[in-house]
Structure 1
């Protein structure tokens, strides 16, 4: 690797570590922010029936991506700046809170390393360019959605819709090697295909097989890779998802209701398509399925 490419990729990787630290906050807080918003909407609706003069509910403490500041979940110790350095702080603290000694989840440095590695790859492949930044954004959003969906079965519109629009804009600007026509058709076909599967399954069984967030995520992947990539993407996500679901069932690891979130497998298919290309993904899956 030429030195200039190495330095560019390294800069992107360090930026990825920093962004990965912030994404840990998003992964933890965004679902809780949505829950609070829903609870507030329900409370506001309920207060319409409360007689005049009834005591108003005291406003809750601010809770967003900035407030309150990062702190230990066990003892509320507020993290100092040097306790918030990606990966290094975790190693220096030996995975424990400096105040109470409570264990810190290994997920935090793993997310930081994952995002840093993906940014390094984008910097090495596309350089410090608009294309590199676009695909780094793509990777960051996918990682965030995968962890949120696995934890909560939520794929928030605050993530899926910006990813969809970013794909269309990147195509229009020429930052990705997908024509705008293929991108628009991919977004529409991605959404409609899973929407049709959802309703076919619901009419046949009376149950919901997936959520609307899956439609929007698949539409976003269609915008980034174009409509020809939809078959390889859904094929890989479905096959891997089915294998993981069967393995979890035999290991008695399925959640209540016996479901496995589909979003993380769409994310995995999207990242595989970025690394290998959709055609390679399709050949690999068909080769694995053929006798």
Structure 2
């Protein structure tokens, strides 16, 4: 890679994160709708039912961006990540309908996380893998928050990427990656069935198993317990706050995937520091 100061690489990563964040918004919004339409078509075909030929929702890559309200195609200057939303004051240029704050938040979050990855891992090929890991978690979190769905189209490539990267000992060795994936999946799978047998209810979705398996493939089995504990702690804090502020009803299920993703990313970036801090506090370091 070109010989540039680390600060320059961090800035480049931030700018790249803004651009990728804009694309992730498209993935978060369009992928679930597209999958739902395809699943409905497949269900009708399997059951032998007649179904009207419908135009599928926009794809992720081919269809150009447009306002979801007036359907007007967006010009290039309307699509500048973060800055267009600020310049337009959060409203469509053509119909003045409000533009969801999700767009700038995802773009800004992706930029910040991308910059942190390069700051932590340096301008290396390892950082490129870390960026892919980060962007996948952002997309999965956004989709789960909106639809309570963790699509296989993202979780499984993330899982396989972790296993394949272990062949080069990029983050963990192959044995740790395989054990991490298996234990990650089976741990939540066991909790799911135990909870269902005791209550008759489903406490989480199968996508959560696959996400934790993917984190195990990237970071090994040692990371799984801290990730589960940290995700539970984050979920309890955020969920409790939302219920206390009456932003979320107690009986309405809350997606757990974003909390697993948050905890996984924090451990991926700062796991060594957190572990040493814990050992120091307990006198075991």
- With structure 1 as the length reference, what TM-score do the two structures score? 0.88
Asked if structure 2 preserves the Cα contact closer than 8 Å seen for 1:232 and 1:282, the reply is no
In the TM superposition, what whole-angstrom CA distance separates every residue of 1:48-86 from its partner, at most 9, and x where no partner exists?
A: 356xxxxx7334156210243211111111101111111
Q: Determine the C-alpha separation between the residues in 2 that align with 1:149 and 1:61.
A: 21
- Counterpart for residue 211 of structure 2: 217
Asked if structure 1 preserves the Cα contact closer than 8 Å seen for 2:34 and 2:56, the reply is no
Asked if structure 2 preserves the Cα contact closer than 8 Å seen for 1:145 and 1:155, the reply is yes
- Counterpart for residue 185 of structure 2: 191
Q: Determine the C-alpha separation between the residues in 2 that align with 1:58 and 1:5.
A: 54
Q: Determine the C-alpha separation between the residues in 1 that align with 2:28 and 2:186.
A: 28
- Counterpart for residue 8 of structure 2: 7
Deviates more, 1:34-43 or 1:22-31: 34-43
Q: Determine the C-alpha separation between the residues in 1 that align with 2:234 and 2:250.
A: 21
- Counterpart for residue 116 of structure 1: 111
**Structure 1 residues 156 and 255, CA gap change in structure 2 (3 angstroms):** farther
- Tell me, yes or no, if structure 1 residue 156 matches structure 2 residue 157: no
- With structure 2 as the length reference, what TM-score do the two structures score? 0.90
Q: Determine the C-alpha separation between the residues in 2 that align with 1:208 and 1:59.
A: 33
- Counterpart for residue 267 of structure 1: 261
Deviation of residue 256 (structure 1)?
A: 7.9
Q: Determine the C-alpha separation between the residues in 1 that align with 2:6 and 2:84.
A: 28
SS of corresponding position for 1:72 = coil
Structure 1 stretches lacking a partner, 5+ long: 51-55
- Tell me, yes or no, if structure 1 residue 235 matches structure 2 residue 249: no
Q: Determine the C-alpha separation between the residues in 1 that align with 2:79 and 2:63.
A: 15
Deviates more, 1:249-258 or 1:209-218: 249-258
SS of corresponding position for 1:94 = coil
- Counterpart for residue 44 of structure 2: 43
Deviation of residue 276 (structure 1)?
A: 1.6
Out of 90, 94, 100, the residue aligned to residue 95 of structure 1 is 90
Asked if structure 2 preserves the Cα contact closer than 8 Å seen for 1:188 and 1:219, the reply is yes
Deviation of residue 269 (structure 1)?
A: 0.3
Deviates more, 1:167-176 or 1:259-268: 167-176
Aligned pair count reads 279
- Counterpart for residue 53 of structure 1: none
Deviates more, 1:133-142 or 1:63-72: 63-72
**Structure 1 residues 123 and 157, CA gap change in structure 2 (3 angstroms):** same
- Counterpart for residue 175 of structure 1: 170
